[in-house]
Amino acid sequence: MDDKKRTEDLLAMAIEDLEGVERYIKELSSFLPLAVCTVNPLGVALIANSAFQNLTGYKEVEIIGEKVDGLFLNKRDFNNLIGSKILEKGTSLTRKMILLTKEGKRIPVNMSISIRRDEKGNFLGYFIALSDISESESFKQGLEKKVRERTKDLERRTEEITKSRLA
C-alpha cells in the first residue's frame, strides 16, 4: 500500500505542477504586448493571445478554428511562406505583410513565423507573431518625402547656378 500511496502522491504533485505551468503560460501569453497566434499545419488558428485579438479586431472565438491566411492582404504570399519557404529555410523567418483587420483596416506588420515541433521533432504547425509597424512606416515615408523634396530643391538650385554662370 505504501508504494501505491507514494505513486498517487507523485501523480497528484505532477498534475498540480502541470496545472501551474499551464496557468503560468496563459498568464504570460495574455500579458505579452506582442500579438501571438498558434497555427496548425493547415494554417488554422489554435490559440490567439489578447494582443493578437486587439490587433486584428477578432475575438478568440471568431479566429480559433479559422484559416489565418484571410488576415493578410496577400493570401498567396502568406501560404507560400507557411507552405514551403519556412520549411526550406529551417525554423523561422520574418516578413513584412499587410494585415487586414476585422473592420477592413490595412496595417503594415512584421510577421515572424516559427515552426512548432513536438519532443520527437514531428512538425506540429507554427507560431506566428505580429508587430504593428504603422508608425515606423509612416516615419519612413515622411523621411523619403523630405529627401525627394530636398533633392528637387538642390537640383533646381544647381540648375539656377549653372544657368547664371553660363549667362
Residue pLDDT, tens place only, 119-151 = 998 888 899 999 998 877 776 777 778 888 888
CA geometry: angle at 58 spanning 134 and 110, to 5°?
Answer: 30
> pLDDT of 1-19, one tens digit each?
588 888 887 888 878 777 7
Could you tell me the maximum CA-CA distance found in the chain, to the nearest angstrom? 111
Give 52's pLDDT tier (boundaries 50, 70, 90). very high
Secondary structure element (H or E) that encloses residue 144, with its range: helix 134-166
DSSP annotation of 41 reads T
List phi, psi (to 5°) of 77: -60, -45
E strands, 40-146, in order: 45-48, 92-100, 106-117, 123-132
pLDDT value of residue 132? 92
What pTM did the predictor assign? Answer: 0.68
3-state SS class at 136: helix
Retrieve residue 162's grid coordinates: 549653372
Average pLDDT of every residue of the chain: 83
pLDDT value of residue 87? 65
Strand partners, 100: 106
Burial class of 77 by CB neighbour count within 10 A (0 to 12, 13 to 18, 19+): middle
CA geometry: angle at 88 spanning 38 and 90, to 5°?
Answer: 60
